[in-house]
Chain A
Amino acid sequence: MDETVAEYIRRTVLKIPRDEIKTMLQKWGLLSETQLQTINFRQIKENISQDVVQLCEEISADIKQAAVLDIIYNHVYPNKRVWSVYQMKKTGEETEFFDLTDFKKKFKRRLRSALKNVTINFREYEDNAIWIRIAWGTPYTKPNQYKPSYVVYHSQTPYVFISASVLKSNLPLLCQALVLASNYHDIREMELRSHSLNSLKDIVFKRYSQNFQTHYPRPLQERNVAPESADLRIIEENKNEKERIERVNREVFGDGPQPKLEFAQYKLETMFKSDPQMDVLDKKEPFRCLVKFSSPHLLESLKSLAPAGMADAPISPLLTCIPQKARNYFKIRERKHFFPGSFVSP
């Protein structure tokens, strides 16, 4: 077995938390049950990985087999990567039957015709998700297994989730191969990025609880806004206002848990509006400014801003439209109307 393969297997096993190693090796299926029995999973990880490499040596594992372990690891821990969402477009209405073998064949062919040195792995999961791992090389070097790109494609939908490696130059080729293989015509980036793959899926597949505009206002539910202290010596003066804030919040954000995003970024290309007497900018050009919101769980923290007394309710629609518009990177330009204002670009 090539020593690069050995090293790659060793490093992949080291990434896995010790308690999970046995289950993941079983999922991998490369080593038989009897072989796995010979490993002591209670020793330190360094030694476990050495044992695994030893066993793989005996069966002469190759890089493609080693890459499968990497896919399994990333499927269990997808939140360690940043995922971007892409949408593919068909011009016609042809609903063709999705042929998995055809897809794989076309995908591999397109990539290999442009780049000889690539390692491509496919793995299908229950929810119609196809995971593709691509390790990129150049015409003169072997593929770099430590910086692979990942693609998650749900064949029944036009959405593709890509976790590109640092090598961004391969992205156009990857997109081209996807479009060709899946019989679409075009692909565009959706300006939606996050660490949480499931939350991205929730947003584009509309699986989170949304607020629906009801014709009849809902009766106020019996929810305690502030901890009801049995102490009658503490009196809330603004109870009505607090209940209003809760109601508005619920209408805007819905009742269920919010999808998990870490950033929202607004690129402002609007004019600087100052006192005309101050005449701050001589030339009337857009004031370039970038506003970035970051949080471990952005939407939940936005939801709790008004009840915590840190902002007025309702919160600006620029922030609350994020799940509906399925994007968290925005460009705000000047509105070209009579009244100067700003609008969010599509």
Chain B
Amino acid sequence: MAVLQPYDKLPALSSAVLLLVGSDGGLQHRLAEAILREKKNFKISIHLATSLPLPPERDHLRPRIDLVAFMIDIKSKYSLKNVEASLAYVDDSFFLGKVCFLVTGVGRVNCCSVEMNAIQNLGEVYCSPVLFCELEVEGSQVATAQRLLRMLEICAGHVPGVSALSFSSLMRNCADD
């Protein structure tokens, strides 16, 4: 099936899977490596994709995906279009806390090409949190990796008492204040 489903496969024990979707392969790699450097007590695997739908040939090898992070480069309208096109291939139930938008490149104020309105609109329409970061800066890279790891941990169900939906509602309520 072309559309990404959150619960069509069985979860593996003590593990979590993150899917990064974005047009900049190099940046994805850098972020993935930063996430893997963090301390964690479960097995993690990170899948990198340029767009959705994912190639069907590898469907049977792919594990269940716990969190999808769509990467938008604020300097590239092309990356926004890419993400918008890919969103059509995600099942609705993913948007109950298992999707987030990661906006990169916010350090370079002069090169902004994507409107803030468009991004905030995206976050509202898809009821998902929007994270801003600058992956070229070491500090921001580490902080983003830690945030994503924490979100992944929650979405995979490793934090007792906190579900993906309750966490994303918490994040949205904080953002609105």
Contact = CB atoms under 8 A, between A and B. Distances in A.
Given A308-B26, A310-B78, A234 B50 contact: no
Given A308-B24, A309-B24, A236 B48 contact: yes
Contact of B29 (A229, A237, A238): A229
B36 A231 contact: yes
A242 B76 CA distance: 19
A235 B46 contact: yes
B45 A238 contact: no
A234 B29 contact: yes
B55 A238 contact: yes
Contact of B46 (A227, A234, A242): A234
B92 to A, nearest CB: 22
A309 B49 CA distance: 11
Contacts of A226: 25-26, 29
Q: What DSSP secondary structure best describes chain B's contact surface?
A: mixed
Nearest to A226: B25
A311 interface: yes
Interface string B36-69: 1000000011111111001100100000000000
Interface string B13-40: 0000000001111100100110010000
A309 B25 contact: yes
A312 to B, nearest CB: 8
Nearest to B57: A240
Interface string B94-128: 00000000000000000000000000000000000
Q: Which of A227, A240, A241, A309 has the most CB of B within 10 A?
A: A309
A308 B48 CA distance: 14
Contacts of A234: 29, 32-33, 36, 45-46, 48
B40 to A, nearest CB: 11
| Tier of interface size on chain A | 10 to 19
A233 interface: yes
B76 A235 contact: no
A308 B24 CA distance: 6
A156 B14 CA distance: 75
Contacts of A229: 29, 33
Given A236-B48, A309-B22, 18 more contacts: A226-B25, A226-B26, A229-B29, A229-B33, A233-B36, A234-B29, A234-B33, A234-B45, A235-B46, A235-B48, A238-B50, A240-B55, A241-B50, A242-B50, A309-B23, A309-B26, A309-B78, A311-B78
Interface of B: 22-26, 29, 32-33, 36, 44-51, 54-55, 58, 76, 78-79
9 contacts: A229-B33, A235-B47, A237-B50, A241-B50, A308-B24, A309-B23, A309-B24, A309-B50, A310-B78
Interface of A: 226-227, 229, 231, 233-238, 240-242, 307-311
